[in-house]
Each structure stands twice: as structure tokens, then as C-alpha cells.
Amino acid sequence: MQRLAFALALVLGSAASLAAQAKSGDRPVTTKVTLDKTVWPDEGPRKWAPRKTESAITANDLRTRLYQFADDSMAGRRIGELGNWKGTEYIASEFKRLGLKPAGDNGTWFQELPFGPTGFDAAVSRLTTGTATIAPTADWIPLTPAANNGLGSRMSTTNAPVVYAGRWVDNTPLDPALYRGKIVVFSGAPGAGGGGGGRGTVNLQSCDALPDRFGARMAAYSDSVTAAGRGSAAGGAGGAGGAGGAAATAAGRGGRGGAANARDTRAMAAGAVGVLFIGLESMPAATVNGAFTLRGAMQPAMVEGPGGGVISAAAAATLFGKAADQLAVGDVGQSVTASWGYEWHLSKTPARNVIAVLPGSDPTLASEYVLVGAHNDHVGTNPIGIDHDSARAVNWVTRRQGSNDPACKPTAAQQQRVDSLIARARSIRPVRRDSIMNGADDDGSGTVVLLEIAEKFANEKPARSIIFVSHQGEEGGLLGSKWFVDHPTIPLDKIAAAHNMDMVGKGRPDYVKFGGPNSVQTLGSRRQSREFGDIIDSVNATRSEPMAIDKTWDVFENPMNRFCRSDQVNYVTKGVPVTYFSTGYAPDYHMATDEPQYIEYDHSARLARFIHDVMWAIAVRKDRPAIAGADPRYPSCGR
């Protein structure tokens, strides 16, 4: 009931104002966009007054939607947070306004995901001896449960003696008679490694030393060179180092020498009630400092086994009365009382897919669906603001594909260009501090194109039904699409074809190889159904505004892991024919500069009309695209 009251308050206070844009008066006669003096060649107005949308797919409709959906007030739309909740409320209100039918759970527009804050609460986590309290963060942190290493979700023990068991990841058996009912202490910790685990300074490479990754062919070549280098280095190095936090290290996603991936369940097998690792000083600073920070996650399964933690050398000396390097296997120290738990609860602003259906007009074909989707989330806010135009200048010159390209040290010529761009910006407007990751292109653009396509179809009568899925949590690991295909609200085998749109707001030739005002990148159109790809090409060949389709990313090498990074992957795993549509990466990708004024709205509108026409062709044809089966030469994406 508390959550319901909270939700109603938010609806009245925020989301309703977003929905009201559709009723805010007549559309002006002119569509001319008036600009102040701009800094960037792709820059539009900073603000856009909402206007009434129409059934046709237009650039101004997209502006009306996106300037609200990716506004600063949405705080980056991170999954589980208020801004994202407001965004999904807006999408549902638009579906309702357009006369679509709810297709979520229990007759609603929504499909809630079991997502919420997860982690350890510092206020109730304790590690004490009979004489002292060991300070959290400074001298100990809990470890995220990891079944592969026998570390459980909770630690709860009173006056249990500690016993030293030597090095972690050792094959020496532990005698249950010595360790049962006690806390086992190892030297070495999951995720710890030489060199301070990432505490040192960062040395940037020179930008001219980095490989050219512009375009699919060059990205594939760069990937192959990098993979070859990793293969050579792996000969004696174990695994790649990682700094993914306590959760990542304990779960096997990082750690030098393969420590985090190693299976060492000896303590659990010996009947220990807890496990402590000596090695806090060697863990990454981010891991230590973030150990008690709650993070959003899907509801985790309870992991049985003794709870685990990492202690400092000073804490070890307190427990055993001597330095850690003087310990011998079997040494018994003080008794310890320990209590902590890896807890989870549902977010107050629930993470949710938004799903609607337009029923088909043909009694025979209406039981089949043409699906179109885009993700509604982005990555929230940054803890530290940066100067907006300065950041854009650096990325414009040195990171043409945004965060896909590593930060690097500009050459003298590049630095001169950066300084020139910043000087021009300062001559036009003052510094603007920016910490909000608006996600206008990623994937606000796909979301508003989804709504435009929905408004177009709402005034038509396709034979097959059309299902619109606004996916949640793509940035968190393709969570919403995975939840939908695992808990479908319609039979998956009734989906004739799926269309996923992610980043459909850029595409300039200086951003994208083979870019231009009609460009679109497609991936996956022939992976499950060769006929699906043929339909797309046929529709394009007969349109009055054909698109320039770039298929160079749709290759077996999967450059930059491109196909595996968006929601189409989860449909592939269920045998659903799916195509991924995008206009490509840009300097604003996963940057605070990804804002509505830098979107190519006319380009997005053309692409939206094209995707609508492809969907229409599938919706009215006699037979659905034939399934040929997955092509094993394409990547499976580990799913």
C-alpha cells in the first residue's frame, strides 16, 4: 500500500504532465526550428515546446517526445530509479491515448521485473572480537556470495574461533576436525593481486598509438589484433586483471592470476561457519570503498555456505596476536562474532517493461504478432559534473565512437583542435556543468520512434497484430528483454518477426562509416529467417525514400561484439526472427553530452517510416517469414 500511494503521488506530480503534451494545442503551421548561435554543427535548440503529435511520422513529433523523455528532470532514467519510472509512466500513457490494448501482466500496461537495491548494510554489519571492534572498510569488507568458492549469502556466528588455513586456492585438504564450527582464515583474497589492485595512477596512451576502429572492417581487424595479444599474454599470466567491485571479484569476473575464478570450496566442505581472507590492502580501492554501497540488481538466489569477508593485515594481527607473515597452518586466534547479509528488496519505483498491442484486423492472422521494441532506460547520473562543451570537444576529436573508444592523450595537433573548439564554445556561451547522462540517442531515440510507429499503426488496420515492447534494463544486462522472453505475455512462437531499435538518432557521415541522411545499420535480419532479410530489402527497393542499408556490421566476426550488446539477442535465443536497426555510434555514446539537441530528427523520422513499412509488409503478407534456423557461424553471445 505504501508503494501504491507513492506511485499515485508521482503520477499526479510528474508523469501526467508528460502525457499532457499530446493535448497541448494545435500544431503550428510552420515546422521551422529557430536557433540561437550554436557551437556544434549538429546542434539544435536547447529546449523544445511540446506540440500536439499527429498520425504521420514526423521530425517534430520526435522532437516533442524526446525533449521530454530525455530531459534533465528524468535524471538519466536508470533502471529502478524515479526518472526511469516517470519515463515508463509516460510511455504507458501514450499507449493508452493512442487506443492500444494493455499487454503486460494481469491486464496492465506493465511487466514488473524483480529488481531492486542489493548489497550489504553497513549499519547492521559487524565483525568483533572479545576485545575490539574491527572497523568496516578500513579493516574489513564483506564479500558478495559466490557458489563457485563456497561463499554464502549470510554470515551469522557468535564467539567462533578463527583458525589459519594457509594460502587460498591451495589443494591441501582441510581436516574437518580442526575447522568445523570455526572461521577459516586464508592468505590471499578473491580479486586481490600484485601492484595494489588498481590503486595506482592511470597512464593514458597517446591517441595516435591506438588502432583505428572506425567502421566495422577496422573494428573487426582491431578486435583480432587485440585477441591475438591476449592469447600471447595468457601463456603465463592467468586471467586478465579486473576491478569490478566485490560482487564482480567474488563472482568470478576479475582478479589477477585467475584467483576470482578459481574454485576453492574447502572451507565449506570442512564445515566452517565463516571464511576470512587476509588481503584488503591488495584489493582495488573501488572494491573496498564500494563494499557497503547498495546496487540495483535482479533478485539474487540465496547462496548456501559460510559467509565471507576480507580483512587487513592489521586486523589479522589483532585476531592472532602476531603478523600475518608469521602465521602457520593450524594457528588458532581469538573468537569472533560476525554478522552481515547480502540483502535485496524491490525498488520503490519498480523496474518494468511497458507492453501494448494493436489487435490485427484479420480473424485468421490476428493471433500472430509483429513485434517492435526499444529500451527505455539509460545509466543515470555521474557523481562529478564536467564542462559540457569541453567534454564534447575532447570526444569530437579523440573519441569518435564515444565510450567505445578509450580515453587517450591527444597529440599536439589534436590538442590544438580541442582548444580551438573550447575557445569557440566560450565565445558563445559560459561553462555548463553537466552530470546527467540523458541518453537521448541511447535509447531515447528508439523509444520515441517506437511511439511514433505506434501512433501511425493506431490509425491503420494491419492484418496481424502489432505488439509494442518498451524494454527495461538493457543497460543493466538486457534484463527486460530477457524477462519478457522468459515470461512472455503472448506466445513467442506466434511472433512472426521482431524489430529492435537502439540508437537511431545519429548517423552523420563524420560520425559513422557509410553514414548519411538515409543511412541505417541492420544486424541479424537473416540469422533465423533468410526471408526476413529479403523482405527488408524488397520493401526498401520499392519505397519512394529508400534507405542506404549498411550490413557491414552483420558479419561472423561480430566486431566490437556489436550484435550481442542489445535486446535482439534474447529473441534470437528463443528462435524469433529479429533485426537490429541502428544509425550507429557517435562521440556522445554513453556520455553526458547525449542530449536531445544533438539528434538528427529528420533522419530518425525517415528510419521510423522505413521500419513501419517493413512491419506493415510482414503484417499483411499471407505467410510469415520462413524460419531457416540459426546460422552457427554467427556468435551465440554466450546465451
Question: Do 148 and 193 reside in the same domain of the chain?
Answer: yes
Q: What is the reported pLDDT for 194?
A: 45
* pLDDT tens-place string over residues 34-71: 567 899 999 999 999 999 999 999 999 999 999 999 99
417's torsion region: left (phi>0), alpha (psi -120 to 50) or beta? alpha
Considering the domain boundaries, does residue 28 fall inside one?
A: no
pLDDT higher than threshold 80 for residue 229 = no
pLDDT higher than threshold 70 for residue 509 = yes
What gap in Å lies between CA 193 and CA 256, rounded to an integer? 5
pLDDT higher than threshold 70 for residue 550 = yes
Q: What is the reported pLDDT for 232?
A: 59
**528 CB-near residues (< 8 Å, 6+ apart):** 572, 575, 576, 577, 578, 627, 628, 629, 630
> Which residues lie across from 352 on neighbouring strands?
112
pLDDT higher than threshold 80 for residue 233 = no
pLDDT higher than threshold 70 for residue 89 = yes
Dihedral of the CA atoms 144, 192, 590, 450 (nearest 10)?
Answer: -30
Question: Do 372 and 389 reside in the same domain of the chain?
Answer: no
In the chain, DSSP finds a helix count (H) and a strand count (E) of 17, 21
What gap in Å lies between CA 94 and CA 118, rounded to an integer? 32
Is the bond preceding residue 443 a cis peptide, omega within 30 degrees?
Answer: yes
**77 CB-near residues (< 8 Å, 6+ apart):** 70, 83, 84, 87, 376, 377, 378, 380, 439, 444
Residue-averaged pLDDT of the chain: 89
Angstrom distances, CA of residue 575 to CA of 217, 438, 472, 486 = 28, 33, 21, 13
* pLDDT tens-place string over residues 108-127: 999 999 999 999 999 999 99
Q: What is the reported pLDDT for 255?
A: 33
Question: Do 291 and 269 reside in the same domain of the chain?
Answer: yes
Instruction: pLDDT band for 489, please (50, 70, 90 cuts).
Output: very high
- Domain final residue pick, 365, 399, 433: 433
Considering the domain boundaries, does residue 35 fall inside one?
A: no
What gap in Å lies between CA 637 and CA 639, rounded to an integer? 6
Question: Do 108 and 145 reside in the same domain of the chain?
Answer: no
Average pLDDT over residues 202-219: 90
Q: Which of 625, 616, 620 is nearest to 57 (CA)?
A: 616
Q: What is the reported pLDDT for 25?
A: 37
* pLDDT tens-place string over residues 521-542: 999 999 999 999 999 999 999 9
Question: Do 547 and 563 reside in the same domain of the chain?
Answer: yes
Instruction: pLDDT band for 629, please (50, 70, 90 cuts).
Output: confident
> Which residues lie across from 466 on neighbouring strands?
358, 370
- Structural domain span for residue 360: 2-19+52-114+349-380+437-620
Average pLDDT over residues 426-443: 97
What gap in Å lies between CA 467 and CA 155, rounded to an integer? 46
Q: What is the reported pLDDT for 248?
A: 34
Question: Do 143 and 81 reside in the same domain of the chain?
Answer: no
Question: Do 590 and 475 reside in the same domain of the chain?
Answer: yes
Q: What is the reported pLDDT for 4?
A: 36
**52 CB-near residues (< 8 Å, 6+ apart):** 21, 22, 23, 24, 25, 26, 27
Strand stretches in 33-107, DSSP E: 101-102
Question: Do 265 and 186 reside in the same domain of the chain?
Answer: yes
Instruction: pLDDT band for 597, please (50, 70, 90 cuts).
Output: very high
Question: Do 330 and 353 reside in the same domain of the chain?
Answer: no
Comparing 516 with 9, the larger pLDDT belongs to 516
Average pLDDT over residues 560-580: 96
Average pLDDT over residues 285-291: 94
pLDDT higher than threshold 70 for residue 259 = no
What domain count does the chain have? 3
CATH at residue 525: 3.40.630.10
**373 CB-near residues (< 8 Å, 6+ apart):** 450, 468, 469, 470, 471, 481, 498, 499, 500, 501, 567
Number of residues that this document lists for the chain: 639
Question: Do 525 and 560 reside in the same domain of the chain?
Answer: yes
CB burial string 233-246: b at 16+ within 10 A, e below:
eeeeeebebbbbbb
- Domain final residue pick, 316, 344, 372: 344
C-alpha grid cell, residue 229: 595479444
Question: Do 467 and 603 reside in the same domain of the chain?
Answer: yes
* pLDDT tens-place string over residues 6-23: 333 333 344 444 444 433
Question: Do 424 and 275 reside in the same domain of the chain?
Answer: no
Neighbours of 377 (CB within 10 A): 29
- CA 217 vs. chain centroid, Å, equals 25
* pLDDT tens-place string over residues 341-380: 999 999 999 999 999 999 999 999 999 999 999 999 999 9
Average pLDDT over residues 84-112: 98
Angstrom distances, CA of residue 117 to CA of 4, 341, 342, 529, 564 = 19, 13, 10, 40, 26
pTM of the model: 0.87
Q: What is the reported pLDDT for 79?
A: 98
Angstrom distances, CA of residue 626 to CA of 264, 304, 452, 570, 577 = 49, 46, 28, 19, 9
Neighbours of 300 (CB within 10 A): 15
Q: What is the reported pLDDT for 261?
A: 57
Considering the domain boundaries, does residue 278 fall inside one?
A: yes
Angle, helices 59-69 vs 82-97, to 10°: value is: 150
Q: What percent of the chain has pLDDT over 70?
A: 87
Comparing 392 with 36, the larger pLDDT belongs to 392
Considering the domain boundaries, does residue 315 fall inside one?
A: yes
What gap in Å lies between CA 482 and CA 347, rounded to an integer? 19
Considering the domain boundaries, does residue 46 fall inside one?
A: no
| Type of residue at 505 | G
Considering the domain boundaries, does residue 41 fall inside one?
A: no
Considering the domain boundaries, does residue 474 fall inside one?
A: yes
Q: What is the reported pLDDT for 80?
A: 97
Q: What percent of the chain has pLDDT over 90?
A: 81
**253 CB-near residues (< 8 Å, 6+ apart):** 242, 244, 260
Q: What is the reported pLDDT for 197?
A: 44
